[in-house]
Amino acid sequence: MNIRKILTKEVISLDLQGTNKEQVIEEMLDILTAAGKVTNRKAAQKAIWDREKKMSTGMQNGIAIPHGKSDCVESLVVAVGVHKAGVDFESLDQQPAQFLIMTVSPANRTGPHIQFLAEVSRQLNDPSTRERILRAASKDEVIDILAG
């Protein structure tokens, strides 16, 4: 999968401001909406929150992957956010989430969504990669790191 085709500067935030899970998810939805990746914000929001209610998407190692499926997108859309202080995401290891990857994918397609998450998860499982992203000075640098 070519991460550079999916991940562009307008869907990356190096400085998420929300102080809790709800605020950060809404902030990331705003990023996708402002970038024109999501045309029906309410539908995307419902998909993300419906999934989050089933089980927190906070993983471990400071990673959270809020995601949902909706017909409001024709193909996989992604936003990446960095929260330097971290935010409680009810993660498996109880650590705050600093790296947030939000995806919305079409309801009838699973392949691209799984492929993208597998690739990004592989990158983020490396502690040095996470450290490089935290220190990244530009959105281009984050893309370069994740496209590894």
CA dihedral 12, 118, 133, 87 (to 10 degrees): 70
Query: Annotated catalytic residue: which of 67, 69, 130, 139?
Result: 67
The CA angle 69-95-134, to the nearest 5 degrees, is 80
Is-contact 6 79, C-beta < 8 A? Answer: no
* 83 belongs to the catalytic site: no
Cα separation of 2 and 82, whole Å? 21
Work out whether strand 63-64 and strand 12-13 pair parallel, antiparallel, or are unpaired: unpaired
Catalytic residue list: 67
